[in-house]
Structure 1
């Protein structure tokens, strides 16, 4: 079967890696993320659009300086050029998934920790899952 068809909620909640690229298509990419209590993605700006959905935990989304509480079930759309950060302000792991459009990371990459992600200067290399 072409494409990706899985229970993303269960996969997101079971994930304990900071970042794991699950599927990369030509125009978008599906990634699960886990933030430990007090951990954040880190302020960043992309030249692409990004979507987040929180599956477990609580925290804060910061978009162009505006702080908004977030929790399981919330969706966040971040237009290209928006400075943003996601912060886990809760006491349990924040589980979420994100869709980059177009892809942002190398297909299949796994960063077990935020430090691993910061140390790896990888970027999407044009190779898709299929």
Structure 2
């Protein structure tokens, strides 16, 4: 009888450890995907000098396909957001991108444990590479 109890305890511990490792890998993968999307948008934004609405819409749809909550403005805090406010290289202006997305439930719980926040947030600035041809 004791052997059966020990076997069940060991089995439960094994299942718990495997589940924890799997959940952490899911969290790490989702965070890496979010970081990759952030880096791609910031590269494009640096090249054109602003956050193009078509670019923002494309990546918002991509994040929604991953099952992330994108009902709020995930690019709130990003600047410039229109062509009229475009950052120019010759004036040594910078572009700022802020991306905040709410991932899947497992990643949300692990991110709350690791980072203290349920959403993935990335913020950064780079000097604009857009050179105005009329300058």
- TM, length-normalised to structure 1: 0.26
Pair member with larger Rg: 2
Q: Which has the higher contact order (CA 8 A, sep 6+)?
A: 1
- TM, length-normalised to structure 2: 0.25
User: Which structure carries more strand by proportion?
Assistant: 1
User: Which structure carries more helix by proportion?
Assistant: 2
